[in-house]
Amino acid sequence: MTSPEPPFSPLRPRDPRSVGGYRTVGRLGAGGMGAVYAARDASGTLVAVKLVHGDLAADPEFRVRFHREADLVRRVVSPCVPRFLASDTGAEQPWLATEYVAGPTLSQHVREHGPLTGPGLRAFAVGVAEALRAIHAAGIVHRDLKPGNVVLAPDGPKVLDFGIARALDETAITRTGGLFGTPGWVAPELLRGGPPTPAADMFAWGGLVAFAATGRSPYGKGSAETVAVRVLDGRPDLDGVPEDLMPLVTAATGSDPDPRPTVDQVLERLLGRSAPDSQEEATALVTQVLREGWKAPPPPTAVAATRVPPPVRPPVSRRKRLLVGAAAVLSLAAVASAGWMWGSGVGGRGPGPEAVSETVDGTRASEAGNEDGSSNGREIATEVVGDGLLTVYAAEPGELGITQGFDGVGNVLPEDVERAEYAIATVRLNTVYADSVAQRGIKVFGEVEYVADSGEFTLHTDDLVLWEVGDGLDPLPEDPAADGRPAHVADTDEVLATVTPDAPSAEFEVVFPRAPESGLLGYLPAPTAHGEDGDRVRGSYMCYMNWHPLPPVDMADEQYVPCPEEPPA
């Protein structure tokens, strides 16, 4: 009898049924680089296979980068890093296979169950330090260690995502002045233009342990500039870190990289003995700590699958943001070049808040209703809740508490709304060049998942618009549809996908042949997206940058980065 598959998404009609010698059985995710599949080897063991998008596979430079990534993953051996299995970087569509890791990310676990405590927290600190020991021993700096890149597996924490790591002996290939990583987790010396070193990973380790212990990012939330100022000021919020871990966390998050403890020094303190002399000894010691102190976390709930965001914070006014020094500003622009940086705003169709339909007698539809004051319409709203992932909500008028229009950057729904109760669909968006050879135009593609028990949801080409960015245009506008910037829409309005409880998932793609390589990608559901007219509809916009197609930043951490017009020099 075949055991049931773990809770990953089913394969789509166009998904491959095998990659290399692995039989694909589901989808684990997708991003700008490609799709990640759950697959089984010849013995039936579950593995994770990353398959590069066909458009990127045609780019020789990208193939070189992917080959380098596979080589980096192959070098790292640790019980706290997914095991490398195989790769074929010369295939028509290059792929990479690693151990399958089940469990929530640290950010998911903290959001659903709160911070780690006691022996589990200490085991987490040991496990992540052990992963960094193996990474640094292989001559690599991770450079993007954050809560979304650590999975809490049944046997301990696992550090993921070497997609933007760089080997220490390969720094010549890194763009001069380039900065990769996520605001709030990037060390201050990197913000000032310094080279990546293992000390930068130890800075992130300290912040990660603080986050695991308190449930708060040590440098808070807000715009990239605001978070960078806090990092450069060197005043992390460590209130709530246990006394036994506080000295190490404080030293690791120090502004000066030289006094920060090395990973060996951290392990010496945490293990209560000298650093192990061999990889085998390190593995045995860490395994013992994890066996004694680690407790398998509960799996992510259905709510987490839609990446429901944390409670809304007060909107950050762009006019009140602190200014960053010139070097940091240049570095922050480089942060944006590391991938799609998604700003959760509210995008819109038409001229803005006043674009509401009218009834026959001239009464606005949002004001019209039945004799008893009720309305026949719905409220529909979207929020960016994960790596390129939007959740769509629908409710009777007044239940979501939204209005027609824009809030700028921030969560759409009020804090007291139970998001899981109103979620109807998720939409994952990606972009690549429409013509990858000439690097012209933009293809928007992705997947729609229906998560409600009844009804249907429809996605139209007209729901998507690409706005331009550049001189004189606000990089994070409150209303991108109302400030006069050029917009690009599809040539025809067509149904891209319709999903229901019986057919809950569908893929889509649409081409914008004249759109620039960088801009704002806006999404606003049609008023009839959920089967009947909506009185109020709110959307979201994101920043796409096709010169560096990496997965988008995890918006569950609410890190908002403006969209530049051109790649940093």
Active site residues: 144
Cα(377)–Cα(528) distance, integer angstroms: 9
Instruction: Look up tokens 């992705």; give the residue.
Output: 446
Positive/negative CA dihedral, 3, 111, 261, 170: positive
- C-alpha distances out from residue 380 to 332, 392, 452, 511, Å: 34, 7, 14, 25
**DSSP conformational letter for 215:** S
Residue 233, classed as helix, strand or coil, is helix
Q: What is the DSSP string of 85-129?
A: EEEETTSSS-EEEEE---S-BHHHHHHHH----HHHHHHHHHHHH
How many residues belong to the chain? 569
Torsion of CA 548, 552, 558, 561, to 10 degrees: 20
- C-alpha distances out from residue 263 to 117, 158, 234, 393, 510, Å: 22, 16, 21, 44, 47
| Token pair recorded at residue 290 | 């994890």
Residue 129: which region, alpha, beta or left (left: phi > 0; alpha: psi -120 to 50)?
Answer: alpha
Question: Residue 39's closest CA among 81, 77, 96?
Answer: 96
Percentages of the chain per state (helix, strand, coil), in multiples of 5: 25, 25, 50
**DSSP conformational letter for 169:** G
Burial class (CB in 10 A: 0-12, 13-18, 19+), 92: exposed
For the chain, the first-to-last Cα distance in angstroms comes to: 58
Instruction: Look up tokens 């166009």; give the residue.
Output: 14
Question: Residue 562's closest CA among 446, 465, 480?
Answer: 480
Q: Which helix (H) or strand (E) holds 331?
A: helix 326-337
List b or e across 67-80, with b for residues whose CB sees 16 or more CB atoms inside 10 angstroms: ebbbbbbebbebbb
Cα(377)–Cα(374) distance, integer angstroms: 9
Q: What is the DSSP string of 50-91?
A: EEE-HHHHT-HHHHHHHHHHHHHHHH---TTSPPEEEEETTS
